[in-house]
Amino acid sequence: MFAFRKPRRAAATAVSAAVAAPVAAALLPAATAAARPAAGPPVPARYAAQKLAWQPCKEGTRLECAEMTVPRDWHHPGTGEDLRIAVSRVRASDPARRRGVLMTAAGGPGGQGLERPAHLASYAPSVAAAYDVAGFDQRGVGRSTRVRCRSDEEFRDFFAGDYRDRSPAALKSVVEKSRRFADSCRERSGDLLTRITTEQTVRDMDLYRALLGERKISYYGVSYATMIGAYYASLFPQRVERAVLDSNIAFGGTWEEFETGQPLSFQRRFEQDFLPWLARYDDVYHYGRTATEAKAKWEKLRSSLRDRPVPLPGGRVLDPNALDNAGIGAVYKGGNFPVLAGALAALDHWDTATPGEKKLADTVFGTYLSAEFFAEFLSVTCADTPWNRDIGYWVKRSGRDTATHPLAGARELAFSAACAAWPAAGTPRVEVTGKGLPPVLMLNSVRDPATHYEGAVRAHRALRGSRLVTVTGGDHGQYQSGNACVDGTIAAYLLEGTLPARDTTCEANPLPVPARPDVRKP
C-alpha cells in the first residue's frame, strides 16, 4: 500500500541503527548490538540521556504523564527546532507478574493517545496486571507539538454544502477550499508538515521505549495505529515481543490506493447493515419497512436539505454534507445505530421535537472532524506516500465514486485536492514483510467501513507469519468492545504467547435492540 521512493536497503538499515544505537545499546542483547551496522551520526545526548519526569495526569487516577524531546527530523537530528512528545503510562498492577511494556498508539490519523492506557487498563485488568500500558500523543496532535492550520471557527465551512453537486462552479469551490486549507497549513506550520509522518513517529516511539529502559515492547494498535505498529515492527523487529493489529490499513501500497477503497466499504456498511437494521425497527423509527424504503427516505431528506438546510441548536446547519458525515460516523460501530436513527426520527417532527431530541440531533449532525484532527490526518496521509496531483483525474474519479458509492465517494475530491496541494515529504520507504518478527495477531471485521476487509487481507499477506482473526459483522475496532471471543484471543496471546494455529473467525457482537416505546413519544 505505501509505495515510497525506494532507497537502498543498506541505507534504511543504517538510518535505523543511527537512531537506535546510542539510545539503547546497553538495553539490547550483545548479539543484537554486535550485529547492528555502525553507520550514520549518533543521536545527540540531549535525546538519549533524557529522564522522564512522571507526574499524575489527573488527580486520583493511576495514569502518569511525562514529556520527552525528539528531533524535528530523525534523519537530520541536529537541525530545526525540537518537538515535544507527551507520553503516558499505567504501571502494572501486579509487579510480581509484570511482563514488560504494552505500548499503544492512536488511530486516525488525528487521534490522541495520551489517555488510552487508562482505558485499556480499566477494560482488561488481567493485561494491565502484567504490563505497564504506555501511550503517547503522536507528533502533531494533543499535548505534543501540534500542526496548526486553522481554528475550528475558520474550518467550519470546509465540509459545508453538497459534495454531490457536480456543476463546474461547485467543483471549483471544493478544489479551492482544499487548496486554501493546505496553504493555511504551510503558512502556520512551515516545514513541520513534512515531518508529521508515520516513519518519523515510530522513531519517536523507539526513543520512548529506550527511555522506559526496555529491550523489547509489546504493542496494541487499532485503525491507523496498525500502520504505526507494522512500521515499527519492520524497522525494529528485534525490539518487538508481541504485537496486536486491530482493524488494519493495507500495508502494501499507498494511502491513495487505500483511501480510494473506502467509498465502497462505507457504502457497503451503510446499505448492508445500517439500512436493514433501521427497517427492522420501523415500529420505533418509522423510516420504512425495507432497506429500500429507508434508503429512499434518506435520499429524500438529503435532497430537501440542499435548498432548506435545518438550523441546529448549536449554531451549525444540517445540510447534505452534514447528513453524509453523520452517516459516515455512525457506521463505525453498531452501537451508534440507535443514536443516528433517533436523530433522523427527530427530524421527522422537528417543529415539535423535544429539547432532548434537538440536542441529540445537534450532537449527531453538528459535529464532525475538528480542524486539529484534519490537519494531522492530511499531514500523515498526504506526506507518507505520493499522491496523484492531477486535479482533472480526481474530478473524473470522484464523479464515478459519487455515482456508485455516494456516502463517502462524494467527499473524495475534497480530500484528494488537499493532498495534491500538500508539500512532498520525501519519506524513505518502510517495507513491511514480517522478517525477523514473532507471529503478529491481526483482527478485522468483514464489513468494516474504514479499514476495509480487502485491505486487511492484503496487509495479512504482506506480514509473513501473521494470524488473521476475521470477525463477522462490520464494526471498526474489535478489542475493548465486549466480544468474548476477541478478548479471549488477545489475552491468550499477550499473556501466554498463545496464537491460533491458523487464521480463524469470531462472531461479531449482535446489533443493538432499540429501546421502546416509540422514540417520538415524550
Which run of H or of E encompasses 200?
A: helix 198-211
Take residue 501 and report the three cell numbers written for it: 494455529
Beta strand pairing status for 131-136 and 100-105?
parallel
Nearest residue to 507 (alpha-carbon basis) of 419, 446, 460, 448: 446
Q: DSSP E strands: which ranges in 27-82?
A: 55-56, 64-70
- Alpha-carbon span 326 to 334, nearest angstrom: 14
- How far apart (Å, rounded) are the C-alpha atoms in residues 16 and 510? 45
d(CA 410, CA 397) in angstroms, rounded, equals 10
Best CA proximity match to 128, nearest among 430, 446, 495, 470? 495
H helices present in 421-519, as ranges: 453-462, 484-491
Contact between 172 and 159 (Cβ < 8 Å)? no
> Cis omega before residue 517 (within 30°)?
yes
Point out the residues that are catalytic: 223, 448, 476
Residue 516: Cβ within 10 Å count: 10
Q: Tell which residue, 346, 365, 344, has the closest CA to residue 521.
A: 346
In single-letter form, the type of residue at position 512 comes to P
Q: How many CB atoms lie within 10 A of CB 368?
A: 18
In the block, cell 496471546 appears at 493
* Residue that is written with C-alpha cell 488511530 in the block: 107
Q: How many CB atoms lie within 10 A of CB 19?
A: 27
The enclosing H or E element of 90 equals strand 83-90
Cα–Cα distances in Å, from 323 out to 2, 40, 56, 314, 415? Answer: 32, 52, 40, 16, 18
Alpha helices in 25-96 (DSSP H): 30-35, 45-48
Q: Are 391 and 179 in contact (CB under 8 A)?
A: no
CB atoms within 10 A of CB 156: 13
The residues with which 248 forms a beta bridge, in sequence order, are: 223
Question: For residue 37, what is the DSSP state?
Answer: -
d(CA 389, CA 455): 23
User: 382, 418 in Cβ contact below 8 A?
Assistant: yes
Q: What is the DSSP letter of 76?
A: S
